[in-house]
Every structure is written in C-alpha cells, then in structure tokens.
Amino acid sequence: MSSARILHLHSYFLFPFSIDKRIVSEQHPAIWSEVRHWIDGLDEWIGAHHSPGSSTIVGKLGPWRRSAYSRFDMDSPAYQDMVFFHPFVRRVFFDTADVSGSTEEAESLLRCYTIPLDPDKKLWFHAGDVKGRSATVNVSELRLFLFANGIGVLSIGVEAFNLSSRQALWINESMRKVYASSGRQVREGRIPNRMTLTVETDGKSETVSEESFAQGEMTGFLPPLSRNITSLIYFADYAKGEFEPVLDERMIVYSYLALDPASLPPDYINSEAYQILLSRFLYVDPDGSGYRYEPQFVKEQMDRQMYRRWAHQGTWYGFTSYSNVTAAIGTFECDEHTLREGFLVHRMFNTRYYLMALVALFYRATLLSFEERTALVSKRLYLDEEDGKLTSENIRSATDLRAEFLHFSNYWYFDELANKDEEIEHFALQCQQYRIEPIKTEIEGELEKLNASLQEYSAFRSTEAVNRLALLSLIMGGGAVLTGFFGMNFGRYFGQVFFQPDQRSLYIHYLAIAMVALLSFGAIAFGFYMVIANWSDYREILLPSRRRARLRRTARRRS
C-alpha cells in the first residue's frame, strides 16, 4: 500500500459513442432535409431539446451549447491550443465556425459543445460500492465532440485535491464504469452500486442523475447504459437505438496526478515504489503493496508504454488502450517556464495532449465503426449471393463505405499532428496502444478485396448485358432483314407468287405473311421479355436523377 499523497488529481472520463444517422434522420425528418448535410443539422437537433422540461440535466444545469473558437489573439485559448499543430490539423480538428451568426460555411467537420458550469453551483460526481468505499469529486468540465461521420466523444472532467493515492486510484477505477458486465461485479464490489451527479446551490443539493446498477438487461445488442451517461446525451434516445457505446463497460481514463513531495521518501523518483504506483495508475488498478500482475511481465509492458523524456524530473507519461496517464512529483518551474504562468506539465495535459488524446480516440472509434459496417455490408452481399443476384442498394452500400473510408484516410487521418518531437512521440505511443495502423491496414485490405469482388461482379453483369444485347440485336436484325427482303418489290414469278398470287399460289402468300408477322412480333415480344426479366438493370437508367440520389442516400444510411 502506497503512502504517497496526491496534491492534485485531474481526470477526464472519455466516452466514445456512435450515432445511428439513419435512425436519427428518420426520427427528425424536418431537421435533415434532402439538401442538408448531417453536420449542418447537429445544432438544430441539440437545440430542439433545450426546453427545461426535456431533461433533468437541462433543467438543473442548462443545455449543451456550441463552443466554437471565436478569439485568436496570442493569449486566447484558441491560439495556445492550435499553434502547436500543423496548419492542416488546425483546419480539420478545431471547431472554429463563426458563432456570431455568419452564414459562411464552416470548414471543419466537427462540432464542440459544453455545458457551462455556473460558478455559484457545484456539480459533484459521487460513487460508492457494497464494501463501503466511496468518493466524491468536483466535476470541473463537461464537453461534447460530435463528428460528421456520426462518432461522438463525451468528456467528463473531474478534479480532487490533497487525497491519498488509494483514493485517487479508486476514483479512476470506479467512476469510469458505464454498465455492469455481470451482477457479480456489483455484489463483489468491483463496480459501484450507486453513482450520482448532484448539483449544489447555496448549500442545498439536488440529484441530477443516479445509477445503482441494481438491474438491467440488453436491448438487442445494446447493454444497459448508465443513466449518468444517457442523461448527459439527452438529445439522443438510447432506447430507440439512436446511439450506442463504441467500447466496453469502461470509459477511457485520461488522468493527471501531482504527488506531494513531502509524503515521499528520499530518492523516490528512482525507486521501485514509484514504478509500482505508476503501474497502478497506468492499468487503472486498485491500490496494493506491489505490482498487481507478474512483475517481469509488467516491467516489459511498461517499457513499451511509458514515455521517459522527463523521467529524471519525476514526470512520466503512460499509454494503454484504456488509459492515458501524466504523473509528476510536486509542481516546479521547468527551465524558463515559471509557476506564475501555471504548472507546465498540467497545462500541457489540459490542452495539447488532451486534444491529441481525443484525436487518437476518434481514430479508434471510427475504425471500430468501420469494422462493424464492413461486416454488415459483407453479410448482406453474402445473402445476395445466396439469392443469386446482388441488389443495387447493397452494391451502393459497399461503394459508399469504401468512399467514406477513403475520405477518412485522406481527410481525417494523419500520422503526425505536430512539428515537435515530444508531441509526435506522445501521439505515436497512444496510436500504437490503440492499434490504429494495423486496424486501418486491415480494413483497407478488406475494402479493397470487397471492391475487387464487386468489380468482378460488375464485369460479369456487363458481359451478360452485352450478350443479351447481341442476342436481341441478332433476332431483331434478322427480322428486319427478312421483312425488308420480302418488302422489296421483286417482279415476275416472285411478285406473282408472293404479292399478286393466283388461286394456286394463294396459300404461299398467306404462309409468308404469317411467318413474317410471327417473326416480327416474336422479336418485339422477346425484346420486351428481356427488359422485364432484367428490369433491375434497366430501372437505374430510367429513374430520375433525384430519385436515384434518394436511393443512394438510403443505402448509405443502412450501411
């Protein structure tokens, strides 16, 4: 058990989720008309739930409000946040729309929202379990990021001061839970049995939301999500499937801790005890006397997951697939960075590294969404193959999916966000733990194979269409030649037999008429049959362009 005291704990619980744009569009048809893009309807969608009676959050805290950057002077947050990133990253990952009412089109394809917390009110996040353990922390910030591809990230920032490392570890481990993986978790105290958001005004407390995990069952494939989460995402109906969690029962923990030097033994920076404490925070584990897992295994893992540039000062950074940790011993002036301007390590944690963590999480959530959609599209194409013919809607779904992945790769995805080595190394370590590059490469290969299969199918269908046309042309052409031949005014015996028959050749005249009529009408009937039998192929050519565009959007939403 560590005796280290924590001067300052600052944690962000990051909840990535995916919005089903098709269901939302169907539920709110007046917002998303035919000419509007998804990103353009988000403000109106959220604004439609701004009445105090629409949710407890809105009534007690206020609604989500657009929080785009509007000031860009040297001391503004926008300038200090953006200046460290490449210009193309600033264009893509910063919501800089003009909030003064300008009709000029916003360049970025994301929206940032906040619920401004009234200084006269305190918002508390409380958790307790069956073993009597509990903690209450101040919610210092609520942010919401919504991207044009339907991915969203809810960010809940909490802070606590002057607490034990045991309390800090329990806060990070317990407050990240969004649903129980089993009833045993609650009964054994591995998840809180009560989690509340409470607002305090003039010494009076009111519960905003509460979750006990006392009961719950899956709805379809969706788990019973915590009311604390659904109350904050009040504009989307979880019960109707308007959104779903991307990861498991835990939120991502992005955490900063400053240890109190007075509570530490000499040379703690280089001690095994510090490494044990770092491992507990890195893997979001409870407090303990040693490594929670096999020591050699943990050390080898930490060699790959810890960033050591500032380890000689006691400042460590760590990255896993479910956590991101910044640890420092005390607060001190860093070279020419003075404490008068704020502690540099915490300032970086709260600005550029926070934004980089969000970008990496957005990549992971988007790629997981692509994996799901690729599987669903492949399933529908497989069922089409069993039916003997691919439908145009499913072909479009596959084509649109590939186009969206191409847009993600070309517009959203960057290996490098900033110029400086430290920022590049931080981002690379986080992406490595999220397995961004392997997953992206895997999906890219799957989509290329899917595209190659569709190209082969398209070539096969084109060959079939050409063969049908050749056969129809042969029959129609033969009939035209035959009728034209008999329509020519031959003289003498030919004309006497076929055009001016006497009693002896009359039957030849009528027989010729019957044969030519049979061939002509038969060729026309066969042409109609060919068109009707393959109507799905010809329908696309005859449909108006607006109707085709509507069908294409429907197929895209279903994918």
- pLDDT computed for residue 452 by the predictor: 85
Same domain, 370 and 321: no
The residue type found at 487 is G
> Does residue 4 carry a pLDDT above 70?
yes
3-state secondary structure of 152: strand
| Position 33 in a domain | yes
Report the domain count for the chain.
Answer: 3
∠ Cα 450 456 462 (to 5°): 135
Highest mean predicted confidence (pLDDT) among 10-14, 195-199, 335-339? 10-14
3-state secondary structure of 324: strand
Say what the alpha-carbon torsion angle 275, 281, 284, 290 is, to the nearest 10 degrees.
Answer: 40
Same domain, 410 and 445: yes
Q: Three-class SS string for 429-493?
A: HHHHHHCHHHHHHHHHHHHHHHHHHHHHHHHHHHHHHHHHHHHHHHHHHHHHHHHHHHHCCCCHH
Same domain, 23 and 145: yes
| Position 258 in a domain | yes
Q: What domain range is 369 assigned to? A: 360-458
- pLDDT computed for residue 550 by the predictor: 53
What's the chain's average pLDDT? 85
CA distances, 382 to each of 10, 450, 463, 537, 559 (Å): 49, 11, 22, 20, 14
- pLDDT computed for residue 195 by the predictor: 94
- With 0-12 CB in 10 A as exposed, 13-18 as middle and 19+ as buried, what is 384? middle
Same domain, 198 and 307: yes
CA distances, 498 to each of 481, 485, 492, 555 (Å): 17, 12, 10, 59
Selected residue with higher pLDDT from 462 and 329:
329
Same domain, 117 and 205: yes
Q: What is the distance, to the nearest Å, from the Cα of residue 538 to the centroid of all Cα atoms in its chain?
A: 36
The helix (run of H) or strand (run of E) holding residue 178 is: none
Selected residue with higher pLDDT from 308 and 499:
308
- pLDDT computed for residue 101 by the predictor: 46
The helix (run of H) or strand (run of E) holding residue 502 is: none
- pLDDT computed for residue 555 by the predictor: 47
Same domain, 344 and 375: no
Last residue of a domain, one of 437, 458, 479: 458
- pLDDT computed for residue 558 by the predictor: 46
Same domain, 234 and 165: yes
Question: Any idea which of 335-349, 486-500, 524-538 has the lowest mean pLDDT?
Answer: 486-500
Read off the pLDDT band of 102 (50, 70, 90): very low
Last residue of a domain, one of 350, 368, 384: 350
- pLDDT computed for residue 559 by the predictor: 46
Same domain, 242 and 131: yes
Residues 253-274, mean pLDDT to the nearest whole number: 94
- Cα distance between residue 327 and residue 255, in whole Å: 8
pLDDT tens-digit readout, 372-383: 999 988 888 888
Helix, strand, coil share (%) of the chain residues, nearest 5: 50, 20, 30
3-state secondary structure of 524: helix
The helix (run of H) or strand (run of E) holding residue 220 is: none
> Does residue 240 carry a pLDDT above 70?
yes
CA distances, 11 to each of 139, 192, 284, 327, 410 (Å): 10, 18, 12, 12, 32
| Position 45 in a domain | yes
| Position 83 in a domain | no
- pLDDT computed for residue 100 by the predictor: 45
The strand ranges marked E within 290-329 are 306-307, 316-319, 323-329
> Does residue 553 carry a pLDDT above 90?
no
∠ Cα 346 347 348 (to 5°): 90
- Cα distance between residue 153 and residue 107, in whole Å: 20
Selected residue with higher pLDDT from 457 and 15:
15
Cβ proximity of 43 and 56 under 8 Å:
no
Read off the pLDDT band of 243 (50, 70, 90): very high
| Position 297 in a domain | yes
Last residue of a domain, one of 350, 377, 407: 350
The two structure tokens encoding residue 291: 């490594």
Residues written for the chain: 559
Residues 357-376, mean pLDDT to the nearest whole number: 94
pLDDT tens-digit readout, 123-154: 999 999 999 999 999 999 999 999 999 999 99
DSSP per position, 228-240: HHHHHTTTS-TTT
Same domain, 232 and 329: yes
Same domain, 270 and 387: no
Say what the alpha-carbon torsion angle 368, 370, 372, 378 is, to the nearest 10 degrees.
Answer: -150
- Cα distance between residue 559 and residue 465, in whole Å: 28
| Position 202 in a domain | yes
| Position 112 in a domain | yes
> Does residue 46 carry a pLDDT above 50?
yes
Same domain, 177 and 31: yes
> Does residue 522 carry a pLDDT above 90?
no
| Position 123 in a domain | yes
Residue ranges of alpha helices (H) inside 313-435 are 344-350, 352-387, 392-407, 421-434
Same domain, 299 and 405: no
Cβ proximity of 284 and 354 under 8 Å:
no
- pLDDT computed for residue 294 by the predictor: 95
